[in-house]
């Protein structure tokens, strides 16, 4: 029904229009064009014989009709409401050749016989021209937008300056200027392209100076700087240190209000991702953290894991102050970015060995601390009768894919989620029996976090023996980890089979819709003795491994990482990891 | 454009004008009231009607009414086929829903504007 001429779709004329054209020449609407009036305020085109004409139906004298048409042949005006009555149709039927009319308020051609709009290129062009002239004459903004109207069926909306906004290239506003600061460089700036591409290292790799036994802090910071959701949060300006400090001051009312660890993180991210490769001194950060964790403020070496926990608490505490009224369920991660990223939910089932009654509790956790095997290279069925494998009597080393004698992270997780008979000195109160009974306890993961942090308990502090020692045993850890076997659903199913549980064990895991596959992206290692040791972090970026040893960052082979003594391992949900890899700017 | 409950469409003869049909705007208005026409003329001649129309267009755009009508038209056109649809068809299809779904706030605002205009131009 329509054909294309010069890319413009031109509807085929109806038979009445064809006849009309044949009778009145190729430009039958020439006279009509003189009646085009462009009316403020909208700049729409109307048809009026005189500028002040009030059109009314020649038959019923009504001027308030919503559709009034002027016959092109005789200029008589009629109303048109097809179902009610149409004096326009009556007119067209009564006089042949008078089928073509024009909508007086829209300047659109109409065939009363067909009941449909028709188009004439020249007439429509004239309407467009009239509206354009009017628009450029009366408005101050650029009128260039008007020229883009299509010829067939002019759209008055296009010409209304109110609706269209002219293109302006983006310029940062004052707030964004502050955020950018002096340290940032444009990512895609030709002048700085050499800086970016010459270094073969990915974005955000910057050494951290040791400020005096602060490698415990540096190592954790490096891991956090490259924790994908955390990185995205801060680089995405979700916590703006300029705005926040003002708020903080406003809340506490004092000028020297407590510094905000999240703000310091924000500053750290800005510094590390600035493109500047010279080692950075996180002095301000250290000072802020000292204020937060006063008991740990010293130049002594601290435990990296302890630092990690206190950091998350610090971020949480600051944010919680602002949102005191907001109560979110524990472990949901709605409270702050730290919990949003790291918080998962652990499930603990304690079963009375006498009556079988089981109580289930859920606890949020930001990491999982794992014990190394007590015996060097021993079988999984270690010395104690504590471990109870209800279904799987084989020891670790009888699993086909396990090297006998080597501790693995997976082995630790299996042990962690194994049903464990609590000793007779640890009887728990059974609600059914109403006495303390010997119990069976099993841990499992109810909800996986975005980032799973595994902490290997290498430092044993015994208050009884008044000594501490470090366990140096090597622990093998995978680069890809599927957490499915450790979920509550898997654990319970493997233990009891597919059945209705006598306790609330059947609800959907919160992580059902999320994947259970994780990818390793950071490993914090400790070498040396308990009192004289050194922390180093290995980062995995775009499938390359980098060793972050305080101020020195070097690319290393993955075998080095595999052989390292892992103290804390950071795994991120696989979907988040691969996305992150794709976006690395360099080759 | 409003629906009439009459099933027979009277054919008007050219010699005698038929009685004016019910008005297409406010249902409550008595069409015999000559001031309705006068009001309309006044609105048109002063240019206020055009301003009111622009205001109405803006309000209907803001509240999504126009998009809703467009969607109705598209759905109808898809069903019937592009080449089998006329303007009259579309008007017929969307008029009932269109009239019914104009937000009350929009009606109230326009009514207020008209009242204010009449008050300001009262003789």
Q: Are residues A216 and A303 in the same domain?
A: yes
pLDDT of A152 reads 34
CB contact under 8 A, A115 and B87: yes
pLDDT, one tens digit per residue, over A408-425 is: 999 999 999 988 888 788
Cβ contacts of B83 on chain A, cutoff 8 Å: 1
Q: Are residues A346 and A450 in the same domain?
A: yes
Closest-CA residue to A216 (of A95, A325, A311): A311
Closest Cα in chain A, distance from residue B21 (Å): 8
Residue A128 maps to a domain: yes
**Is the entire prediction scored with pTM above 0.80?**
no
Q: What is the CATH number of the domain that holds B101?
A: 1.10.246.140
Cβ contacts of B58 on chain A, cutoff 8 Å: 162
Q: Are residues A347 and A449 in the same domain?
A: yes
pLDDT band at residue A499 using 50, 70 and 90 as cut-offs: low
A93 CB-near residues (< 8 Å, 6+ apart)? A113
The total domain count for chain A is 2
CB contact under 8 A, A83 and B37: no
Residue A158 maps to a domain: no
Q: Which value does ipTM take for this structure? A: 0.71
Q: Are residues A223 and A120 in the same domain?
A: no
Decide which of A69, A104, A134 is a domain's last residue: A134
Cβ contacts of B77 on chain A, cutoff 8 Å: none
Closest-CA residue to A573 (of A453, A454, A420, A450): A450
Greater confidence (A301 vs B40) lies with B40
The total domain count for chain B is 1
CB contact under 8 A, A59 and B12: yes
CB contact under 8 A, B17 and A60: yes
Residue A333: Cβ-neighbour burial (10 angstroms; 0-12, 13-18, 19+): buried
CB contact under 8 A, B17 and A117: no
pLDDT of A412 reads 93
Average pLDDT over residues A19-42: 84
Residue of A nearest to B46 (CA): A52
Pairing of strands A68-71, A100-103: antiparallel
- Domain span at residue B73 reads 46-121
Cβ contacts of B21 on chain A, cutoff 8 Å: 60, 81, 84-85
pLDDT, one tens digit per residue, over A551-573 is: 999 999 999 999 999 999 999 99
pLDDT, one tens digit per residue, over A167-201 is: 778 887 776 776 666 555 555 555 555 444 445 56
Q: Does A3 touch chain B (CB under 8 A)?
A: no
Closest Cα in chain A, distance from residue B1 (Å): 5
- Percent of all residues in chain A with a pLDDT value above 70, rounded to a whole number: 72
Average pLDDT over residues A48-73: 87
A431 vs B86: CA distance, rounded Å: 76
Q: What residues does A570 pair with on adjacent strands?
A: A453, A522
Residue A362 maps to a domain: yes
Q: What is the CATH number of the domain that holds A85?
A: 3.30.40.10
Residue A42 maps to a domain: yes
pLDDT of A449 reads 93
Query: DSSP letter at A424?
Result: G
Decide which of A102, A134, A166 is a domain's last residue: A134
CB contact under 8 A, A64 and B89: no
Residue A178 maps to a domain: no
pLDDT of B31 reads 41
Lowest mean pLDDT among A32-36, A64-68, A155-159, A367-371: A155-159
Which candidate from B9, B50, B88 shows the least CB-CB separation from A116? Answer: B88
pLDDT of A154 reads 39
Residue B55 maps to a domain: yes
Query: DSSP letter at A441?
Result: E
pLDDT, one tens digit per residue, over A363-381 is: 999 999 999 877 544 343 3
Torsion of CA A130, A136, A139, A144, to 10 degrees: 110
Decide which of A134, A155, A188 is a domain's last residue: A134
Cβ contacts of B18 on chain A, cutoff 8 Å: 59-60, 85
CB contact under 8 A, A62 and B20: yes
Closest-CA residue to A580 (of A330, A325, A225): A225
Pairing of strands A85-86, A77-81: antiparallel
Residue B63 maps to a domain: yes
Q: Which of B20, B27, B54, B84 to mutate: most A Cβ within 10 Å?
A: B54
Cis, peptide link before residue A41, omega less than 30° from 0:
yes
- Domain span at residue A48 reads 15-134
pLDDT of A331 reads 58
Closest-CA residue to A81 (of B101, B102, B2): B2
pLDDT, one tens digit per residue, over B53-109 is: 989 988 998 888 988 898 999 999 999 998 889 999 999 999 999 999 999 999 999
Q: Could you say which of A111, A215, A335, A412 is catalytic?
A: A215
Backbone phi, psi, residue A535, to 5°: -100, 140
Q: Are residues A229 and A80 in the same domain?
A: no
CB contact under 8 A, A41 and B54: yes
pLDDT of A251 reads 52
Q: What is the CATH number of the domain that holds A242?
A: 3.90.70.10
Query: DSSP letter at A254?
Result: -
pLDDT of A269 reads 94
Closest Cα in chain A, distance from residue B31 (Å): 10
Q: Does A76 touch chain B (CB under 8 A)?
A: no
DSSP secondary structure string for all residues of A33-86: GGGEEEETTTTEEEE-SSTT-----TTT--S--S-EEEETTT--EEEEETTTEE
Closest-CA residue to A27 (of A112, A97, A117, A123): A123
Residue A446 maps to a domain: yes
Orientation angle between helical segments A261-272 and A283-292, nearest 10 degrees: 160
Residue A496 maps to a domain: yes
Query: DSSP letter at A208?
Result: B
CB contact under 8 A, B24 and A115: no
Q: Are residues A121 and A263 in the same domain?
A: no
pLDDT, one tens digit per residue, over A267-304 is: 999 999 988 889 999 999 998 888 888 776 777 778 89
Average pLDDT over residues A153-172: 60
Active site includes A534?
yes
Which candidate from A39, A94, A117 shows the least CB-CB separation from B50? Answer: A39
Cβ contacts of B10 on chain A, cutoff 8 Å: 85
CB contact under 8 A, B86 and A63: no
pLDDT of A345 reads 92
pLDDT of A407 above 70: yes
Residue of B nearest to A64 (CA): B40
């Amino acid at each position: 029904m329509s054909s294309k001429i010069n890319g413009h779709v031109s509807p085929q004329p109806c038979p009445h229009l064809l006849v009309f054209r044949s009778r009145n020449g190729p430009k039958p609407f020439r006279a009509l064009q003189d009646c085009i009036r462009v009316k403020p305020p909208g700049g729409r085109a109307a048809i009026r014989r005189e500028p002040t004409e009030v059109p009314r139906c020649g038959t019923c004298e009504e001027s308030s009709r919503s559709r009034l048409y002027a016959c092109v042949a005789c200029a008589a005006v009629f109303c048109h409401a097809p179902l009610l009555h149409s004096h326009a149709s009556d007119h067209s039927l009564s006089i042949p050749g008078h089928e073509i009319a024009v909508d007086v308020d829209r300047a659109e051609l109409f065939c009363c016989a067909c009941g449909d709009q028709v188009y004439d290129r020249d007439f429509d062009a004239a309407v467009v021209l009239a509206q354009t002239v009017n628009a450029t004459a009366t408005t101050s903004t650029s009128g260039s937008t008007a020229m883009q109207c299509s010829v067939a069926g002019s759209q008055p909306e296009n010409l209304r300056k109110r609706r269209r906004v002219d293109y302006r290239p983006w310029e940062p506003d004052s707030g964004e200027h502050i955020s950018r600061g002096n340290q940032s460089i444009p990512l895609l700036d030709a002048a700085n392209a050499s800086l970016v591409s010459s270094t073969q290292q990915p974005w955000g790799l910057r050494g951290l100076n040791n400020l005096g036994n602060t490698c415990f802090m540096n190592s954790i910071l490096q891991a956090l700087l490259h924790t994908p959701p955390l990185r995205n949060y801060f680089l995405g300006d979700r916590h703006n240190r300029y705005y926040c400090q003002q708020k903080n001051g406003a809340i506490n009312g004092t000028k020297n209000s407590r510094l905000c660890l999240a703000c310091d993180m924000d500053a750290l991210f800005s510094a590390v991702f600035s493109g500047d490769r010279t080692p950075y001194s996180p002095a301000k950060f250290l000072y802020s953290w000292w204020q937060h964790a006063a008991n740990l403020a010293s130049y002594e070496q601290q435990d990296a894991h302890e630092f990690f926990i206190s950091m998350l608490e610090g971020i949480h505490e600051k944010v919680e102050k602002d949102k005191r009224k907001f109560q979110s369920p524990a472990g949901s991660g709605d409270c702050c970015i730290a919990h949003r990223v790291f918080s998962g939910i652990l499930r603990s089932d304690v079963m009375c060995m006498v009556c079988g009654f089981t109580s289930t509790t859920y606890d949020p956790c930001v990491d999982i601390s794992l014990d190394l095997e007590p015996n060097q290279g021993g079988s999984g069925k270690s010395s104690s009768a504590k471990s109870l494998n209800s279904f799987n009597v084989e020891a670790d080393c009888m699993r086909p894919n396990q090297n006998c004698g080597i501790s693995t992270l997976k082995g630790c997780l299996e042990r962690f989620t194994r049903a464990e008979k609590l000793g007779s000195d640890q009887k728990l109160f059974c609600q059914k029996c109403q006495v303390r009974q010997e119990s069976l306890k099993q841990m499992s993961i109810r909800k996986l976090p975005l980032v799973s942090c595994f902490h290997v308990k290498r430092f044993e502090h015994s208050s009884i023996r008044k000594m501490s020692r470090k366990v140096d045993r090597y622990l093998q850890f995978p680069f890809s980890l599927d957490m499915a076997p450790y979920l509550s659903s898997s654990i319970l199913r493997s233990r009891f089979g597919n059945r209705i549980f006598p306790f609330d064990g059947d609800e959907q895991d919160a992580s059902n819709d999320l994947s259970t596959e994780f990818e390793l992206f950071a490993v914090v290692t400790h070498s040396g003795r308990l009192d004289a040791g050194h922390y180093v972090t290995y980062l995995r970026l775009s499938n390359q491994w980098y060793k972050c040893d305080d101020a020195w960052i070097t690319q290393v082979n993955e075998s080095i990482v595999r052989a390292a003594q892992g103290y804390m391992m950071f795994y991120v949900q696989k979907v988040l990891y691969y996305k992150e890899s794709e976006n690395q700017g360099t080759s | 454009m409003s629906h009439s409950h009459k099933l027979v469409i009277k054919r008007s003869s050219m010699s005698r004008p038929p009685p004016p049909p019910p008005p297409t705007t406010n249902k409550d208005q008595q069409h015999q009231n000559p001031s309705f026409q006068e009001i309309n003329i006044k609105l048109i001649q002063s240019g206020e009607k055009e301003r009111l129309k622009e205001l109405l267009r803006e309000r209907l755009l803001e509240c999504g009414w126009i998009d809703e009508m467009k969607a109705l038209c598209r759905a109808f056109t898809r069903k019937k086929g592009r080449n089998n649809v006329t303007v009259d068809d579309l008007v017929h299809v969307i008029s009932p829903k269109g009239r019914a779904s104009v937000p009350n706030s929009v009606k109230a605002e326009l009514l207020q504007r008209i009242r204010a205009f009449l008050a300001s131009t009262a003789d």
